[in-house]
Amino acid sequence: MSALFIAISKITDRDKLNEYLAVAPGSMAGHQIEVLAFDDNAKTVEGTAPGNRIVVLRFPDRAAAMAWYDSPAYQAVVQLRLDGTEGFATLCDGM
């Protein structure tokens, strides 16, 4: 079963986020990742989201998602995303 990595956030430091965006794609090399959504202007239609930025990535399964997330390449850059945004990321089963 596929797995989805979903990050929903508010941009708090555009410079830090831009640093992250410049280097994060390199962390995807060697991993089977499909970008399903990447939007800085998502519209919340129910509840209260932390912000209007959403990223949705699809992986073959949860193990593949965690292999990317825990990889040295991603762990070397993830702090830039955390420093540039407030929100959360979650991993769930896909269809």
The DSSP secondary-structure symbol of 50 reads S
The DSSP secondary-structure symbol of 56 reads E
Domain count, the chain: 1
Q: What is the CATH number of the domain that holds 58?
A: 3.30.70.100
Q: What is the pLDDT of residues 56-91, one digit of tens each?
A: 999 999 999 999 999 999 999 999 999 999 999 999
3-state class (DSSP) for residue 73? helix
* Residue type at position 15: D
Q: What is the DSSP string of 11-30?
A: ES-HHHHHHHHHHGGGGGTT
The DSSP secondary-structure symbol of 3 reads E
Mean pLDDT, rounded, for 46-61:
97
The chain-wide mean pLDDT, for the chain, equals 97
Q: Which domain holds residue 23?
A: 3-93
